[in-house]
Amino acid sequence: MSKIIVKGGNSLHGTVKVDGAKNAALPILAGSLLANGKSIIEDIPDLEDVRVMCEVLQSLGVDLEYGNGKAVVKSDNVSGIEAPYELVRKMRASFLVTGPLLAKLGKARISLPGGCAIGSRPIDLHLKGFSALGAEIFMGHGYIEAAAKRLKGDRIYLDYPSVGATENIMMAAVLAEGQTFIENAAEEPEIVDLANYLNAMGARIKGAGTDLIKIEGVKELKGVRHQVIPDRIEAGTYMAAAAITRGDVLINNVLCDHLKSIVAKLKETGAYIEELPKGIRVKMNTRAKAVDVKTLPYPGFPTDMQAQMMALLSTAVGTSVIIETVFENRFMHVDELKRMGAKIKIEGRSAIIEGTESLSGAPVKATDLRAGAALVLAGLAAEGETQVNNAYHLDRGYANIVAKLRGLGAEIYRDTDN
Ligand SMILES: CC(=O)N[C@H]1[C@@H](OP(=O)(O)OP(=O)(O)OC[C@H]2O[C@@H](n3ccc(=O)[nH]c3=O)[C@H](O)[C@@H]2O)O[C@H](CO)[C@@H](O)[C@@H]1O
Ligand SMILES: C=C(OP(=O)(O)O)C(=O)O
């Protein structure tokens, strides 16, 4: 089981480049199932989750080559309809093949994703959407089966603006008969990127990025070339790394428009931030000031940055409150940060963080991807050595994190022997 070892105390300086967005690449790869002909998808991050999605697609009969940030995909001969337990249990986002399979082949059999370390994560909204489009849904033996001869457009109101449900329903609706309206849709930039890819393939989607998405079904989609947007969460993590180490870092390949809530909160902590056409510079001279944060669907503060922000606020002057509204159990990093000397109390969905001048390095354990990132950030600022165990969680979402941080002057390495 691999560990990341961090010796804290170095301020980070220099330039780091962000990769393509995991949360855009995954639905886009799933969406490539819908096309005939070749799609070339570029700026795909080199991540474990991407490799799992490629395995899922290949198991369905997709002709897929992946390497050096590029996937060449041909889905003309897809005949498989099943995403098995062995793959879905590795990555929940595998469930995103359901909409495309249902649209293209009229059938899908997918292992139920189940919960994970951050919450129970039901899929009721995805299924409600498929049913509204005319699919019959059966559940049994840990699998969901959905079937429809041809889906028919409808008006679907999401009780919550779920990212995955919006994407899955959008992908199901692009080949449906007639018009579909998704109301209270999620507005994340990754949904816009997926819609741009599908529209380039010939889909007719309007309103992606707003809470009302209109889809006019078409008969066929054709493969195209597409470049995945930069990862705003990876960018935010390096921004927080600059702030927690009181460094000065230029983060390249970012879209500042996608980072507004993160920029606003970091500015409140006292960071100097300079937005450039394709980059963002974060400089911090003093200890952060305490701030309050509430996670919300986009354009609110992202839940995927909550743990990293908590690491920073653990070292702030004053008391901060973080309210996590998106996932019911996304505070698993708290006990680990406390082992490093952080003073945090949980009250329901709120974490009350009394900033402390210094954290102390300790052996800790990543419980999920962003918890792992938060512990690495805390380790960068802590006195002495921090060992982040179960570091494989970080490989789901951060390509080359150790090399990137080392390039900024961090003393960090990976120990794969244990
Ligand atoms: C691969 C990917 O893009 N993952 C992101 C996606 O996850 P994901 O798409 O799973 O997140 P959702 O937006 O669907 O989930 C948000 C909330 O809605 C609830 N819910 C969701 C679906 C449903 O059918 N019923 C239901 O109750 C979830 O349990 C959760 O409490 O958006 C999350 C919220 O920004 C991010 O943290 C994840 O990084
Ligand atoms: C929660 C995350 O991903 P997933 O939805 O794939 O679990 C994340 O990226 O922080």
- Whose alpha carbon is nearest atom 8 of ligand 2? 304
Nearest CA among 315, 299, 309 for reference residue 331: 309
Cα dihedral 368, 369, 372, 374, rounded to 10, equals: -110
Nearest 5 degrees, angle CA 316-CA 318-CA 324? 75
The response to whether residue 304 sits with its C-beta less than 6 Å from ligand 2 reads: yes
Cα distance between residue 192 and residue 186, in whole Å: 10
Q: How many Å separate Cα 168 from the centre of its chain?
A: 15
Q: How many Å separate Cα 265 from the centre of its chain?
A: 20
Residue 45 near residue 33, CB atoms below 8 Å: no
The response to whether residue 101 sits with its C-beta less than 6 Å from ligand 1 reads: no
The response to whether residue 324 sits with its C-beta less than 6 Å from ligand 1 reads: no
pLDDT of the residue at 114: 78
Query: Cα of 359 to ligand 1 centre, how many Å?
Result: 32
Query: Cα of 327 to ligand 1 centre, how many Å?
Result: 8
Task: Please give the sequence-ordered ranges of beta strands (E in DSSP) within 240-327, or none if there are none.
Answer: 248-252, 272-275, 279-283, 293-294, 319-323
Annotated binding residue 252: no
- Whose alpha carbon is nearest atom 31 of ligand 1? 327
- Residue indicated by tokens 């400089």: 283
The pTM of the full predicted model, rounded to 2 decimals, is 0.98
Integer CA distances (angstroms), 155 to 15, 29, 103, 184, 212, in order: 47, 26, 17, 11, 10
Residue 51 near residue 17, CB atoms below 8 Å: no
Nearest CA among 200, 166, 181 for reference residue 23: 166
The residues assigned a catalytic role are 116
- ipTM, 2 dp: 0.99
pLDDT of the residue at 278: 85
The response to whether residue 126 sits with its C-beta less than 6 Å from ligand 1 reads: yes
Annotated binding residue 406: no
Query: Cα of 416 to ligand 2 centre, how many Å?
Result: 24
The ligand minimizing its distance to the Cα of 184 is 1
296, 326, 369: residue to mutate for ligand 1 pocket, most atoms within 8 A of CB: 326
Cα distance between residue 347 and residue 77, in whole Å: 52
With a CB cutoff of 8 Å and minimum separation 6, the contacts of 160 are 125, 184
Query: Cα of 187 to ligand 2 centre, how many Å?
Result: 17
The helix (run of H) or strand (run of E) holding residue 221 is: none
pLDDT of the residue at 416: 78
26, 97, 305, 369: residue to mutate for ligand 2 pocket, most atoms within 8 A of CB: 369
pLDDT of the residue at 417: 54
Annotated binding residue 124: yes
Cα distance between residue 77 and residue 44, in whole Å: 23
Exposure letters 103-114 (e unless 16+ CB within 10 A, then b): bbebebbbbbbe
The response to whether residue 162 sits with its C-beta less than 6 Å from ligand 1 reads: yes
The response to whether residue 303 sits with its C-beta less than 6 Å from ligand 1 reads: yes
The response to whether residue 370 sits with its C-beta less than 6 Å from ligand 2 reads: yes
- Whose alpha carbon is nearest atom 22 of ligand 1? 123
Nearest CA among 309, 302, 292, 304 for reference residue 350: 292
pLDDT of the residue at 418: 47
The response to whether residue 121 sits with its C-beta less than 6 Å from ligand 2 reads: no
With a CB cutoff of 8 Å and minimum separation 6, the contacts of 277 are none
The helix (run of H) or strand (run of E) holding residue 399 is: none
The ligand minimizing its distance to the Cα of 234 is 2
Integer CA distances (angstroms), 233 to 23, 166, 200, 290, 309, in order: 9, 20, 25, 21, 11
304, 330, 395: residue to mutate for ligand 2 pocket, most atoms within 8 A of CB: 304
Per-residue pLDDT tens digits of the chain, which is 418 residues long: 789 999 999 999 999 999 999 999 999 999 999 999 999 999 999 999 999 999 999 999 999 999 999 999 999 999 999 999 999 999 999 999 999 999 999 999 999 997 788 989 999 999 999 999 999 999 999 999 999 999 999 999 999 999 999 999 999 999 999 999 999 999 999 999 999 999 999 999 999 999 999 999 999 999 999 999 999 999 999 999 999 999 999 999 999 999 999 999 999 999 999 999 989 999 999 999 999 999 999 999 999 999 999 999 999 999 999 999 999 999 999 999 999 999 999 999 999 999 999 999 999 999 999 999 999 999 999 999 999 999 999 999 999 999 999 999 999 999 975 4
- Whose alpha carbon is nearest atom 37 of ligand 1? 304
Cα distance between residue 369 and residue 396, in whole Å: 7
Annotated binding residue 326: yes
pLDDT of the residue at 8: 98
In which order are the strands placed within the sheet that holds 411-415? 363-365, 385-389, 3-7, 411-415
- Residue indicated by tokens 């886009």: 28
- Whose alpha carbon is nearest atom 1 of ligand 1? 23
Handedness of CA 265, 269, 270, 274 (dihedral sign): negative
Query: Cα of 228 to ligand 2 centre, how many Å?
Result: 17
Nearest CA among 4, 12, 30, 73 for reference residue 391: 4
Say if strands 204-206 and 155-157 run parallel, antiparallel, or are unpaired. unpaired
With a CB cutoff of 8 Å and minimum separation 6, the contacts of 166 are 158, 182, 185, 186, 191, 213
